[in-house]
A = this chain, B = another copy of it.
Amino acid sequence: MAAEQESTVPRVVDHKARRNEVAAAVLRLVARHGLDSVTMRAVAQEAGWSTGVLNHYFGNKQELLVAGLRLAVRDAGERMQFASENCTGPETLEAVLSEGLPLDEWRLALCRIWISFCAQAVGNEDLAARQRRYYSNWRKTVRGVLEEGQRQGWVGSDLDVSAEADSLIALVDGLGLRAVVGADVSAPDQQLGLLKRWLQGIRRLDAVGS
């Protein structure tokens, strides 16, 4: 019994790790060539797998994209968590929100899949529910940072943290949408500049006792 248990544990871990390998390959492809580049064949090649083995783990392109989205969201969530625990003062808010901006290839891939899934979510309740869940978590995180800011005094005590969190998330999402088509202010330093400017505004609002 003990021997049997020991032999199954590594297999389970391996299974998860292998799925993550594929998810990472999906993200690399999306970052480099866009969503259309995600085919079973291309992902197998990128991950160094045979298409037969890939088929065993993922049934179709949609499942590959979901795996990519999950990995990117989890990764962004962990980095947000790390930022909120390890930064101090207003830098926390900037660090947390920056994780949602397409400032590097990985985050650009996340933006592309995110936006594509939002577009597909109309008429697809499963997809819509997942996106809503992600939004809800993100909102909680940002609101939490603002509330912490109020306790620490760098966010005005009368700031409407829910409304501010919603506005900040909309700003970050909207910048991502623009970056995806390569419109003005798609460059990372411009995106970050607009975010910093806005955050500066939150503190200034406080200065006049908004």
Contacts and interface: CB of A to CB of B under 8 A. Distances in A.
Interface of A: 30, 33-37, 112, 115-116, 118-124, 127-128, 131-132, 135-136, 139, 160, 163, 166-167, 169-175, 177-178, 180-185, 193-194, 197-198, 201, 204-205, 207-208, 210
Instruction: Report, nearest first, the 10 A-B pairs whose CB atoms are least far apart.
Output: A170-B174, A34-B122, A34-B123, A173-B174, A174-B174, A116-B119, A135-B183, A131-B181, A121-B181, A132-B183
A132 B121 CA distance: 24
A163 B34 contact: no
B181 A166 contact: no
Given A33-B123, A167-B198, A198-B167, A118 B181 contact: yes
Contacts of A208: 204, 207-208
Given A35-B123, A173-B178, 7 more contacts: A115-B177, A135-B183, A169-B174, A173-B174, A177-B177, A205-B205, A207-B208
A184 B184 CA distance: 28
Nearest to A197: B163
A175 B116 CA distance: 16
Contacts of A204: 205, 208, 210
15 contacts: A30-B122, A35-B120, A115-B118, A115-B177, A132-B182, A135-B181, A136-B184, A167-B198, A170-B170, A170-B177, A170-B194, A174-B177, A201-B205, A204-B208, A204-B210
Given A35-B119, A119-B115, A122-B34, A178 B182 contact: no
A122 B194 contact: no
A56 to B, nearest CB: 28
A27 to B, nearest CB: 13
A139 B184 contact: yes
B131 A163 contact: no
Contacts of A112: 119, 122
